[in-house]
Amino acid sequence: MTAAHAPRPTVVLVYQRTSLPWVFDSARKAGIDLVLVPRPDEPVSPDRLPPGVVEVLPLDVEGDPAAALAALRARHSSRPFDGITTLYDPAVPFVADAAEVLGLPGLGGGTARAVQDKRLMRRRLAEAGLNVPGFVVLDEPGASAAAARLDFPVVVKPANGFSSLGVTKADSPERLGAVVDEVWQVCRSKLHQVTGLVVEEFLDGPELAVESLAHRGTVQVLTIGYKGEPVGPHFEEGVYRAPAPLAPQVQDAVVREVVAAHAALGVTDGPTHTELRLRGGERPYLLELGARIGGSGVSHYIAEHVTGTDLAADALRLAAGLAPRSLPDPDQRPARARGAAANYIVPCGGAGRITALHGLAEVAADPRVDHVVQMLHPGDVVRPYPDFTGYPAFILSHHPSTKDAEEFHRDLADLIRIDYAPAGDAQ
């Protein structure tokens, strides 16, 4: 068979929201067919499939992983596919297990759990001599006494949580027990499996996000972005602007820490989204390393507009066992920036039933804005923290410089407003 008539690679894409377009667009441009496993809360019409999607395969990955794996095995036996991937953090271990069972490229189950379970991650980073805050693992409710020896304030987080779910700061030993109880309750109500909690010393300083792509153990850092300086108690995300304005020695330290973390956790191939804090503004400490494209595809948008790299296409190629095509110079870390990109994460700013969201139509008309992705709408109920309902909207924009993006975000903070009524009131 000649190359011109070679079959198109097929990749199973697990739990990707169709309202976030980038991975679908990249698949179409790269000539990769997608078998979409839709999210249970998002119906997908067979006659209105996203770009690149050739089949919809409904599976209950979280509720019945054994049945989902059996269905994938049957599909692969009758019509083989080349890879499986996800941008949804809780599904990373399932995808790794499926790849191992089916003999497909993947992280491996041990690595997937090390990046998804904050207990394992902290231990491996510490063993590798990387920067790790003081921490204690809590395996059962009511066991908070062991964490009282840490330096306060501390942050309590689900060991297998994602996004801002349940993450809460305790300012004193007297508050610790109540905060731990709150986070346990969030875990029981929101996570399919409760594995424990991590209590770790609060890290001050700016928060950063690093987008990378690993191939055969070589890690290409694409972008380093600024994510504000959240002080808690619940760490709601607000901004993401790249490239971050860092002194050269700080940038080098961030790159070294991120590359070393990949080695410590065993991540050799695929996209990663790493979040860090710069303690004292200079010393990088990892908060987490996600073995996926971050933000359900937002990280692709950031990397593409800052560097020109098609991160999603290369991630799909790696999932299919193919080499990446669009990586910049591997000796340039991070990759050379050709502009700035930003994500304004509209804050909830309250709780209750949403009655109106003001300003999004005006923002969508701004030529700097490429996407307004709205996740919450009038009638939706936003629950108070430490519960995590989700983000109202993402506003993705491009700019000549990070300073321009910062000024734009200040304007958005004044323009966008959410009105609430008490959750029990009629719409």
pLDDT in tens, 194-231: 678 999 999 999 999 999 999 999 999 999 999 999 98
Place of tokens 């377009």: 21
Write down the pLDDT at residue 192. 64
Beta strands at 369-374 and 352-358: parallel, antiparallel or unpaired: unpaired
CATH topology for 3-114?
A: Rossmann fold (3.40.50)
Whole-number pLDDT of residue 6? 64
pLDDT for residue 329 = 74
| 134-201 and 207-421 share one fold | no
Name the pLDDT band for 427 (thresholds 50, 70, 90): very low
For range 97-113, the mean pLDDT: 96
- Evaluate if residue 318 carries a pLDDT over 50: yes
Percent of the chain with pLDDT over 70: 96
Residue 106 has pLDDT above 50, yes or no: yes
Average pLDDT value for residue range 398-426: 92
**289 has which bridge partners?**
274
Non-local (6+) Cβ contacts of 331 within 8 A are none
pLDDT at res. 4: 52
How far out from the chain centre does Cα 48 lie? 27
CA dihedral 252, 257, 260, 264 (to 10 degrees): 180
pLDDT at 109: 92
Residue 2 CB: number of other CB atoms within 10 A?
5
Mean pLDDT on 279-305: 96
Determine if the peptide bond prior to 271 is cis (ω within 30°). Answer: no
Residues 79-96, mean pLDDT to the nearest whole number: 96
Specify the CATH superfamily of domain 207-421. Answer: ATP-grasp fold, B domain (3.30.470.20)
Could you state, in order of their start, the residue ranges of all structural domains in the chain? Answer: 3-114, 134-201, 207-421
The span from the CA of 340 to the CA of 304, in Å, is 10
Q: Please state the pTM of the whole predicted model.
A: 0.93
DSSP 294: G
Per-residue confidence at 2, pLDDT binned at 50, 70, 90? very low
What average pLDDT is seen over the chain?
Answer: 92
The predicted pLDDT at position 232 comes to: 81
* Tokens 């607000």 belong to residue: 238
Lowest mean pLDDT among 28-37, 334-343, 385-394: 385-394
Percentage, residues of the chain above pLDDT 90: 80
Residue 296 has pLDDT above 50, yes or no: yes
**Backbone torsion region of residue 350, taken as left when φ is above 0, otherwise alpha when ψ lies between -120 and 50, otherwise beta:** left
* Residue with the larger pLDDT of the pair 175 and 386: 175
Q: Which helix (H) or strand (E) holds 208?
A: strand 207-215
Whether the predicted pLDDT of 32 surpasses 70: yes
Check residue 406 and give its pLDDT: 98
Residue 425: per-residue pLDDT: 54
pLDDT recorded at residue 1: 44
In terms of Cα–Cα distance, which of 27, 76, 31, 79 is closest to 50? Answer: 27
Question: What are the structure tokens assigned to 125, written together?
Answer: 């980073």
Look at 69-78, 213-222, 301-310, 331-340 and tell me which has the smallest mean pLDDT: 331-340
Q: Are 95 and 316 in contact (CB under 8 A)?
A: no
Domain 134-201 has CATH 3.30.1490.20: yes
Q: Is the peptide bond before 245 cis (omega within 30 degrees of 0)?
A: no
Q: What is the mean pLDDT of residues 33-52?
A: 92
Going by C-beta distance under 8 Å and a sequence separation of 6 or more, which residues neighbour residue 76? 102
Per-residue pLDDT band for 68 (boundaries 50, 70, 90) equals very high
